[in-house]
Amino acid sequence: MIAQRTGTTALRRVAANPNAVFTSTFAKAAMSQMQTRQATTQKISATEARSILDAQRLNRPVSPHLEIYDKQQTFFGGSIWQRFTGSGLSGGLYVFGAAYLAAPLLGWHLESASLVSAFGALPFAVKSGVKFLVAWPFAFHAFNGVRHLALDLGMFMKRQQIVKGGWYIWGASLVSGLYLAFFL
């Protein structure tokens, strides 16, 4: 497109002011060989334009929605949970970071010593539950992130491998989350 415009501009300049290399008849002949637009445009009113646009919109395909997808798809669960866990972890980090910065202004005690003593005073079951709620999303996001990278490289793309890989990810993340919650 740019080359065509450059050539057209050069030919117009030559046609307007021929030099020793080109004659005006040569430039006019070259201009006559250029492509021309076969369609013509016409002025229409705003209401006519709107009706044409509405008629065109009726022929456009409708974008797919989540309802059209098969709920038994093998990649659907792992992919959406990857997004949920990533959003939860990053959102929690941002909320805690903002609260940590605002704590001195609001009189909150979010320094390490206060958090450790408050967490240490909780019963074992509550501590383990809170640790699991933080550890499981982290473990799932880490394991499933590696799986996503492998799928992006085209590995393990057979249906049976995808199903088994999904179960392995869920199992490994649950076991890792429980280990991190109860033994660390």
Closest Cα partner for 146 from 176, 111, 125?
A: 176
CA distances, 32 to each of 27, 35, 37, 69, 137 (Å): 9, 8, 13, 55, 69
Residue 70, pLDDT score? 65
Give the distance, in angstroms, between the CA of residue 110 and the centroid of all CA atoms in the same chain: 34
Q: What is the pLDDT along the chain (184 residues), one digit of tens a residue?
A: 666 777 777 777 777 776 545 555 665 666 666 666 676 678 889 999 999 999 988 887 777 766 666 666 655 678 889 999 999 999 999 999 999 999 999 999 999 999 999 999 999 999 999 999 999 999 999 999 999 999 889 898 888 888 888 899 999 999 999 999 999 8
CA within 13 Å, CB half, 132: 11
